[in-house]
Amino acid sequence: MSRARHLLTALAAASPVLAAGLAVSAIRDRPSPIVIVGSVLVTALAVESALWLGVGSRLLQAARALGGVAPRDLTREVRELQERAEACRTESQRLAGRLEDLSSSLGDGLIVVTSDLRLRLINPPALAFCGVDRADRGSDLVEILRDPVVLDVVEEAAGGGRPEPEVIENRSGLWEIRAFPVREGGAVVLLAEVSLVRRSAEFRRRFVQDLSHELRSPLAVLRTTVEALEDDIDRRLADVLVRQVERLDRLTRELYDLATIESGQLELELERVTLKQLVRDVLSDFGPEASAAGVELRQEVPDGVAVWCDRRGLSRVLSNLVDNAVKYNRRGGWVEVWARAEDEQVTIRVADSGEGIPPGELRAVLQRFYRVDRARTPGQGGLGLGLAIVKHMVQYMGGRLDLRSREGVGTTVTLTLPTSGAARSPSGG
């Protein structure tokens, strides 16, 4: 029997008692004990009924919200929910502790803030950057960090923006600041000390640049000497000497060019260049070499296609790509330069039917000093600088590079360059 039916039955049972009491009271002209008991009973039942209608109805509503759970099962359900909530709280505390341990072991600074710049997390290197010994969770970042540039970067990221990295110098060193928005609100801030890294990188670039520059003079003398001796020594020996001197000269120029690019000293003369003639000139330079290797050179560049670039820089880029395409091709193969203009940009593809690049080495070949397995290309010496120079040069001219290759099928390098505008700064690397 439901609770409501129980209350109605009790009221019905009490009503005869109350009626009899009222009759007796009317005869005696004073309240009967029956009336008093009945009144108390009815009042108690009325109060219980009101409580049931208030509390019981809410319990029923909660039961419906829990998927039709009966009131007698609510206690068990609430207990289970409490146990789950406690387990979640324990797991959250464990993960928070692990995150603090990991952040403390980082060499770089880490700060996590809410959307109103309240601290969620800060590790020891970040405390050192801010110049404080400790900071409480929930405190305002402005209270411990006074640098307005850094605060602007963090505030922009906490508001959902993606600010550019900033380099800040303070009493603890030179730092690179990177801030990223968090989907739930707030920001993550990374602080990297870059003084030693930059000094070592600058020393390496300067050493390579000076070394390649100093090698130019003895190489020029050596080349002149070999050319003077061509008539006095065996022809085949003279050809070997000339090729080796040219190889050393090319490697020296590549080292110098890469060091110049990475140091930011590369000067470009950007202009609008008609592509068809430039491609024709590059392919004609490799005509004898391709003919000797049995490789066909093709071009498909429409008239009137022009790019915004440095003429010598783009010529160098295409020369490196065509050189690789011929060198690592097979007899009877082909190399094709293709171009199209679309939406204020020009797409240039240099494709070949050569050996291709193993999938695991596609990204690595764009790095400096990386070469695909030397055993596969005997006699094709190099330092692995050609594609690194190509990548940097294209970036300097405001373009993008994409490399696709299938081993045993061939390689396609796609360049995307603007038709107008100014060059962007290189992305580094």
> SS3 sequence, 259-314?
HHHHCCCCCCCEEEEEHHHHHHHHHHHCHHHHHHHCCEEEEECCCCCEEEEEHHHH
* The token pair that represents 145 in the structure block: 């960090």
* The token pair that represents 359 in the structure block: 């999938």
pLDDT digits (tens, 9 = 90+) for 164-189: 888 887 777 778 899 999 888 899 99
Please give the pLDDT value at position 154: 92
CB 176 within 8 A of CB 194: yes
> Which of 204, 348, 330, 209 has its CA nearest to residue 273?
348
Residue identified by tokens 């219980």 is: 48
Taking the CA atoms of 274, 276, 282 and 285 in sequence, report the sign of the dihedral they define. negative
Please give the pLDDT value at position 87: 75
Q: What is the CB neighbour count within 10 angstroms for residue 263?
A: 14
315: number of CA atoms within 13 Å, CB side?
16
> Which of 376, 429, 367, 428 has its CA nearest to residue 403?
367
313: number of CA atoms within 13 Å, CB side?
28
- Which amino acid, 218? P
Please give the pLDDT value at position 39: 47
| Domain 106-193 and domain 270-418 have a common topology | no
Please give the pLDDT value at position 43: 46
CA angle 294, 295, 297 (to 5 degrees): 140
Q: What is the CB neighbour count within 10 angstroms for residue 21?
A: 19
Q: Cα 247 to chain center, whole Å?
A: 39
Please give the pLDDT value at position 367: 67
Which CATH code for domain 106-193? 3.30.450.20
Q: Has domain 270-418 been given CATH number 3.30.565.10?
A: yes
- What secondary structure does DSSP assign to 102-142, as a single string? HHHH-SSEEEEE-TT-BEEEE-HHHHHHHT-S---TT-BGG
CB 366 within 8 A of CB 388: yes
Beta strand extents in 29-172 (DSSP E only) = 109-113, 119-122, 166-170
CB 126 within 8 A of CB 109: yes
Q: Hey, where are the domains in the chain?
A: 3-68, 106-193, 197-262, 270-418
What is the helix, strand, coil percentage profile of the chain, to 5? 55, 20, 25
Q: Which helix (H) or strand (E) holds 48?
A: helix 33-51
Please give the pLDDT value at position 40: 43
Residue 427 is classified by DSSP as -
Residues of the chain with pLDDT under 50: 1, 6-7, 10-11, 14, 17-48, 50-53, 55, 374-379, 381, 422-429
> Which of 318, 306, 404, 317 has its CA nearest to residue 346?
306
Residue 148 is classified by DSSP as H
Taking the CA atoms of 315, 344, 391 and 397 in sequence, report the sign of the dihedral they define. positive
User: Residues 414-417: contacts with CB within 8 Å, 24+ apart?
Assistant: 414/347, 414/348, 414/349, 415/317, 415/347, 415/348, 415/349, 415/350, 416/345, 416/346, 416/347, 416/348, 417/307, 417/308, 417/309, 417/314, 417/345, 417/346, 417/348
Predicted structure pTM score? 0.48
CB 281 within 8 A of CB 312: no
151/155 Cα distance (integer angstroms): 6
CB 205 within 8 A of CB 197: no
Please give the pLDDT value at position 280: 93
Q: SS3 for 341?
A: strand
CB 276 within 8 A of CB 283: no
Please give the pLDDT value at position 70: 59
The pLDDT mean for the chain works out to 75
